[in-house]
A and B are shown apart, each in its own frame.
Chain A
């Protein structure tokens, strides 16, 4: 009964149109659209990755060996289960043309490559033709960036190790490129047999081999993968198949998508502030209607339902518009997005992300509107007779507070469920809640200070008017600080984290980082290599260590993942070294180094921090698969490893005897004067062509570029938050216009010039913008510090350009929003305004 009447009343009220609800709708639509669009793009990429799994992987399945080729038995199994097998060796080396050298990631293939997809070459030709031997020189194809770096042209000759190659074409498309992940050097493809005389791929060289399998059409991937797991158990071989052809990429897309959706949620939270103030302002205009209905006998429930239904209908409209926009935009821009993505995407309407966005939108609208809606219950019929003595309760009834808390919990649960990471969700939610709280408290402090400051501003009317406007409740200092502040906080946090991350990687380089990493130094080369560098006065320090790679398969005889979960150390293979004595500058945190000439059972020295994270203790056993052979050792000591210095940091070190007989090479870092670097490189490269040099600065630039793209993606997400914040700001400015017109009319009557009125507006905007910017900066710095300190484990310093940008942004946004609505008050004719107010 009550609901029927309420819906009838609600419909009558809605006949008035959407006036007063434009900001409400814009905030919800924008927030939902951003999340729906991010979700749609993510779903499109995931669909693309799923359907193109085989093409991305370069076959129906792949077996990845570290550091070795498959033995005949293993190869026989592969040939038995598949129609065709393709073998690829992947490693880093130097491409050399005269004195010019450049790091390249070599893919050495067989004639079966690629099993799936086609290689793009310029000029167009079949890959076997491009790689085949011509005039006694094996062929090679290279990415354009490397060709340019070496100053090559198609037809020219270059060397890999001790073997010359003919550049036969430019590599424009690598069919299985996306699955290769992050590489330090541009790609070169050659035939494996062409490397026979290159002195590359010698025992101990760092390389991985991938065997792509073309399975029969009726093959059951699940069954074959199970067979592979049995055949290659504990052999350090990784299986990937077309069901998830690029696991690294899809995990990255998934994580980045989840993170961006959470950034989108902060935009929705800002929108929530706008939605809440729009509803508050709408309902305050309805006070007399509500009081009249109460006088006529409407129960509190009827009143609440009447306005709940109205706001609910508008929220559904806003969410629907947002979902529509979030579906249409990615589809419209699909060609552009696809052209810029290195991975396939299948754009379509995906219900799941749209449902997620709609759910977030509805819950946010519910959470932010229930508070003002609940307060309609406190409006009494007596309000019609007296405003001055109206003292309604400030807080809504307990049942509403409980409902708001339950809705908030549901929102968090949904966000955790959809993002798949409760930690990130709770951190984001905590950040948003903390920032909102800090902003609300700041807004209150600003109001109180403005009120007190008024007495100090005697004789400065413009300042006093500005302070009066800020301290007056109706001017919405709170909604301005909240809406602008949260958006700026997200942007400030992104700026500080990104800046500090870059600083951590690049900023400290000259002091602590080496100039070069040299890898693949053979045992018989290490002495000559060391001698050459030790005699060079420009070399400050050399640090060399034997280098093997291994996968930790078991801890205390149980599968390692069971004991240490998904710790990063267990993902893929890790560098392993050995050392008779404890290296210089090593600090043990627990246990002792093994004695000299120790020949007993294998002993392991492990990185202290990682050991703690993995729950390891001295005396635990660990099985490491190196070159297909299991070595089980006992943890003897934990030592500090500083990865941030970019020196050699091995998680695992063993006693020499434990690794005796395993073929391996050496890795070395060289700290040299910058001007001598080129000479050292030239000299070493000509003496030892098989050695690969990685210039640390180049490698770091590649990492910094990749991080830059991530920061850019996050900034786009934050931009939606800022845009929503600006809309809320416009809403607050618009809502205050009537009061300001009246104020300006009174001031004009009292003799104020237009210039002084503008001056007062400007001061108000500057003060509020400055405050919002400062609080946002404080939030950004706090988040930046927390992320640097607790997550990245790096030092923190304030990134001033970003910080100043945030403050300027805050001032600019409030000024623009204020100036948009300044003309009304400025042009107000006092006589008209004051007459209508009577």
Chain B
């Protein structure tokens, strides 16, 4: 198996909105290796989240190519991309995005169920234990704190043992202590499963925990640098 997880060649993204066409990303070229952790940083509107969406197959490039695990994401259909994500990717959002009508356990089991895993609930229970929330398995998102919700979201992202973990400002809605705990868990999961981590953050300190930092400005990569650590 190739060591390269992501290859982006001249990837561009433009979107049509009510106010007309907006160019968001221009000529992004990037390679990410297996097990590597990348911190995407840059000011608001620089295109960090959009780049994460391209890498997650949530948006299709309007120029260039995005290849993940040897698959060119551009020509894939929405459903093919969905199937690809549930097998190879886990996504963590700033706003958690747990499904409010499902318990913590059901939320974690959802991607496993979608992938047809017969042991979805055992695996989900184990994953909740890893994030320290086995006692909250039957609670609904509304009954949990922000920190707890993000831990459930982490368990949900990690449960299918994805090759790639995508995290969009996972601590953005949390206080300092909860944020630090989430980051520890995130990197712990990455280490345990050997996944590749793409992390969008405003925080240079957090980005410095990654193997490499990609700095963006106005939709372009302005700098690659090794993390400070």
Give A391 to B53 CA distance when docked, in angstroms.
Answer: 16
Residues from chain A with a CB closer than 8 A to the CB of B168 are: 385
Contact of A388 with B by CB under 8 A: yes
Contact of A698 with B by CB under 8 A: no
A15 and B101: CB pair below 8 A? yes
Give A391 to B59 CA distance when docked, in angstroms.
Answer: 12
- With contacts A5-B114, A289-B100, A382-B53 taken as known, whether A299 is within 8 angstroms of B17 at the C-beta atoms is no
- With contacts A295-B58, A297-B87, A388-B17 taken as known, whether A12 is within 8 angstroms of B102 at the C-beta atoms is yes
Chain A residue with the shortest CB-CB distance to B16:
A391
A297 and B101: CB pair below 8 A? no
Residues from chain A with a CB closer than 8 A to the CB of B49 are: 385
Interface string of B79-120 (1 = CB under 8 A from A): 100111111000101010111111000100011011110000
- Pick 19 A–B contacts, CB within 8 A, sort by A: A12-B101, A12-B106, A289-B100, A292-B98, A292-B99, A293-B99, A293-B114, A295-B58, A295-B85, A297-B82, A297-B85, A297-B111, A299-B79, A301-B79, A382-B58, A386-B15, A389-B16, A389-B22, A391-B16
- Give the residues from 511 to 547 in chain A that come closer than 8 angstroms, CB to CB, to chain B: none
Residues from chain A with a CB closer than 8 A to the CB of B97 are: 288, 291-292, 295, 384
B93 and A298: CB pair below 8 A? no
Beyond A297-B111, A382-B53, A382-B58, 14 additional contacts (C-beta under 8 Å) are A12-B99, A289-B99, A291-B97, A294-B82, A296-B114, A297-B83, A297-B115, A299-B83, A381-B58, A382-B59, A384-B95, A389-B17, A391-B17, A391-B18
Residues from chain A with a CB closer than 8 A to the CB of B83 are: 297, 299
Quote the shortest CB–CB distance from A314 to chain B (angstroms): 15
Number of B residues contacting the other chain (C-beta, 8 Å)?
Answer: 37
Residues from chain B with a CB closer than 8 A to the CB of A380 are: 58, 78
Give A294 to B49 CA distance when docked, in angstroms.
Answer: 17
Chain A residue with the shortest CB-CB distance to B157:
A296
Contact of A16 with B by CB under 8 A: yes
- With contacts A297-B86, A300-B78 taken as known, whether A384 is within 8 angstroms of B101 at the C-beta atoms is no
- With contacts A381-B58, A385-B58 taken as known, whether A293 is within 8 angstroms of B17 at the C-beta atoms is no
Residues from chain A with a CB closer than 8 A to the CB of B79 are: 299-301
Tally the A-B contacts, defined by beta carbons under 8 Å: 86
Interface string of A342-382 (1 = CB under 8 A from B): 00000000000000000000000000000000000000111
Residues from chain A with a CB closer than 8 A to the CB of B99 are: 12, 289, 292-293
Contact of B161 with A by CB under 8 A: no
Interface string of A302-314 (1 = CB under 8 A from B): 1000000000000
Q: State the 8 A-B residue pairs at the shortest beta-carbon distance, nearest first.
A: A297-B86, A389-B17, A296-B111, A299-B79, A292-B97, A382-B58, A389-B15, A381-B58
Contact of A1 with B by CB under 8 A: yes
B116 and A1: CB pair below 8 A? yes
Quote the shortest CB–CB distance from B220 to chain A (angstroms): 19
Contact of A13 with B by CB under 8 A: yes
A296 and B156: CB pair below 8 A? yes
Contact of A587 with B by CB under 8 A: no
Residue ranges of A at the interface with B (Cβ–Cβ < 8 Å): 1, 5, 8, 12-13, 15-16, 288-289, 291-302, 380-382, 384-386, 388-389, 391
Residues from chain A with a CB closer than 8 A to the CB of B102 are: 12
Give A293 to B91 CA distance when docked, in angstroms.
Answer: 11
- Give the residues from 12 to 44 in chain B that come closer than 8 angstroms, CB to CB, to chain A: 15-18, 22
A296 and B110: CB pair below 8 A? yes
Give A137 to B54 CA distance when docked, in angstroms.
Answer: 108
Quote the shortest CB–CB distance from B194 to chain A (angstroms): 21
Chain A residue with the shortest CB-CB distance to B99:
A289
Choose among A16, A302, A385 the residue with the greatest number of B CB atoms under 10 Å from its CB: A385
Quote the shortest CB–CB distance from A376 to chain B (angstroms): 12
Give A289 to B82 CA distance when docked, in angstroms.
Answer: 15
Give A289 to B95 CA distance when docked, in angstroms.
Answer: 12
Quote the shortest CB–CB distance from A828 to chain B (angstroms): 23
B106 and A302: CB pair below 8 A? no
Which of B16, B18, B53, B110 touches A293 (beta carbons < 8 Å)?
B110
Quote the shortest CB–CB distance from B50 to chain A (angstroms): 8
- With contacts A8-B113, A382-B58, A389-B15 taken as known, whether A296 is within 8 angstroms of B85 at the C-beta atoms is yes
Interface string of B163-206 (1 = CB under 8 A from A): 00000100000000000000000000000000000000000000
Residues from chain B with a CB closer than 8 A to the CB of A300 are: 78-79, 82
Give A168 to B80 CA distance when docked, in angstroms.
Answer: 92
Residues from chain B with a CB closer than 8 A to the CB of A388 are: 17-18
Choose among A8, A291, A292 the residue with the greatest number of B CB atoms under 10 Å from its CB: A292
